[in-house]
Amino acid sequence: MKFVDEFRDAGVIHKAADEIRRLADLGRQYRFMEVCGGHTHAIYRFGLKDILPPNIDLVHGPGCPVCVLPMGRIDDGLSIAKGPNVIFTAFGDMMRVPGREGSPLEHKARGMDVRIVYSPSDALKLAQKNPDKHVLFFAIGFETTAPSTALTLMRAKALGVTNFSVFCNHVTIIPGIRAILDSPDMRIDAFIGPGHVSTVIGCRPYEWVARNEGKPIVVSGFEPVDVLQAVVMLLRQLKAGEAKVENQYKRVVPWEGNRAALKAMAEVFELRSYFEWRGMGFISQSALRIRDTYKDWDAEHRFAVPGVRVTDPKAAQCGEVLKGVLKPVQCKLFGKECTPERPVGALMVSSEGSCAAYYNYEHRKHETLTRIGAAV
């Protein structure tokens, strides 16, 4: 399959690994943060960590929108859905994320009308089919999914569908990276830039990371060769004493981004002054809100939203994992009180969560090896 098979070729993977070992200075410890949760899953799924030199540490960043959403925002969205004749809709990876009073699926079990949709346009169609109900779409995601929400709101306005609204939780990637760099307990040498987000915003927004912070950044795809090539490119920059933005994912990511998607976002959204990120506090201009020209479809305008801040369970260390301070396995609850079947934090639920990636691939691998050793 084109753009899959050649990026999983064993020979190419071994050549890339050899090049990494040649470039890596044995007297230096490298810390590269993969910003996107999709990279974290690729690293564990394909066992890439095992073929890297031990002095290259891949640090998992806050690139999972479900994971960075604070518990209070989940409660706010569910509080709206408690009203009469309201249908709560969201993507599947939101359904088991716990709020203070349980996850959307647990609310469904208690009688709330909760439904999984695959796109915001599915939620709009649901509203058209149920004119006696109000359909609430719980919008979430980085710039990757924001254009589809924007286009759906434009269509809802054009069609005059009044029984539909969006609870907007779209966040923006650049302020999150800036918050990581400003963290006093974090040392990062370079970044593997997010491929999915960059299909929308392009590569230019990352130039300040290289220019102002002196950190190389390589936007990468998600296949094994993609990630390893990104590591090679970062090592070459560091070896040459350079700090610039490079695009490894040229087959998908345009340098200037998707102009049509950016135009739709600019029409419908504007930046919030502040927005809370799980474990990272309030970050300036790090999220989107719906413009007043679309306020009739803005759930926060149409409904009373409590806006109560809720802290994560004290024992959970989601914030430290999101910031890359801790590895998932270093959390006190990991694999014990917190598992995919009984998640305490969103990082164990989401398809891009670093804890879910570590548990499903690395943790289970060690369990299997232990059982085999015991049997032998």
State how far the Cα of 300 lies from the Cα of 76, in Å rounded to an integer: 9
Instruction: Give per-residue pLDDT as tens, 350-362.
Output: 767 888 888 888 7
User: Which has the minimum average pLDDT: 33-42, 163-172, 363-372?
Assistant: 363-372
Mean pLDDT, the chain, whole residue set: 90
Give pLDDT, residue 84: 87
Token pair, residue 49, equals: 């960590």
CB 291 within 8 A of CB 269: yes
Question: Does pLDDT of 61 surpass 50?
Answer: yes
pLDDT-based confidence at residue 371 (cuts at 50, 70, 90) = very low
Annotate 248-269 with DSSP letters as a single string.
Answer: S-TTT--TT--HHHHHHHHHHE
Cβ contacts of residue 116 below 8 Å, gap of 6+? 89, 90, 91, 92, 95
Pick the CATH number of 1-314 from 2.60.40.1260, 1.10.730.10, 3.40.50.11740, 3.40.1190.20: 3.40.50.11740
State how far the Cα of 176 lies from the Cα of 277, in Å rounded to an integer: 9
Give pLDDT, residue 324: 78
Give pLDDT, residue 4: 72
Instruction: Give per-residue pLDDT as tens, 74-89.
Output: 999 999 998 889 999 9
User: Which has the minimum average pLDDT: 129-143, 158-172, 179-193, 285-299?
Assistant: 179-193
Instruction: Give per-residue pLDDT as tens, 141-156.
Output: 999 999 999 999 999 9
Per mean pLDDT, which of 37-41, 291-295, 314-318 is the most reliable? 291-295
Q: How many other C-beta atoms lie within 10 A of the C-beta of residue 151?
A: 19
Question: Does pLDDT of 322 surpass 90?
Answer: no
CB 67 within 8 A of CB 350: yes
Answer yes or no: pTM beyond 0.85: yes
Sorted by where each begins, the domain ranges of the chain are 1-314, 318-375
Instruction: Give per-residue pLDDT as tens, 164-206.
Output: 999 999 999 999 999 888 887 778 999 999 999 999 999 999 9
